[in-house]
Amino acid sequence: MRCLSTTNPHRSRVHRAGYTLVEMLIVVTMLGLAAAMVIPSIASATSLRVQGALRTIVADITVAQSDAVAFQRQRAIVFRFDGNNGRYVVAEVNGSTIDTTTGILEDRQLNVETLGFTTVTSSFNSGTNTIIFDELGGPVSAAGGTTPAGTTDIDLRGSNSNWRITIEAYTGRVTITELP
């Protein structure tokens, strides 16, 4: 049996000074494919934040309804618009007064990065910026009142898309639709 020594002086060593063109092309192609997969997901991150904002608003509407039913007291959601910083509060209703100072149950700012810079683009069709729920979770037209409110639409914009949150009259059913 013949034994080959690794220290054979007659064996030539190949010294590579760098990468071959084929290796470089493979790496560049792999980086291109990775970028092609990552860039669309980065672009969709903002739209996911807007959808998160819509879900947050709907969740807060649902919590206000549930809270009104659980405590048998009216609850209100009041949207405030001060420049580009739209926000809303979920508040207690005491008699015929909406308590937005000490009775705040939730306070949210809309036009922030975590919510995709979502903004309310139109006032409510009821002419007010307030949604009030009675003890049964249905929308009413005034604090302390029992007259059912009509269907309320809240239009929002974020990530180059328009959305509408609709609160049905009588039932308080909440739906979201994308607008053209």
Given a cut of 90, whether residue 68 has pLDDT beyond it is: yes
Residue 2 falls inside a structural domain: no
Helix (H, G, I), strand (E, B) or coil at 102: strand
Look up the domain containing 121 and give its range.
Answer: 21-179
Given a cut of 80, whether residue 117 has pLDDT beyond it is: no
Dihedral sign for Cα 20, 26, 29, 30, please.
negative
Residue 1 falls inside a structural domain: no
At residue 19, the pLDDT reads 79
Question: What is the b/e burial string over 37-55, where b = at least 16 CB atoms within 10 angstroms of the residue's CB?
Answer: eeeeeeeeebeebbbebbe
pTM for the model: 0.72
Number of domains in the chain: 1
Average pLDDT, the chain: 81
pLDDT, greater one: 101 or 110: 101
Residue 8 falls inside a structural domain: no
Residue 98 falls inside a structural domain: yes
Residue 15 falls inside a structural domain: no
5-34 residue pLDDT tens: 555 555 666 666 777 888 888 989 988 888
At residue 11, the pLDDT reads 60
CATH number of the domain bearing residue 70? 3.55.40.10
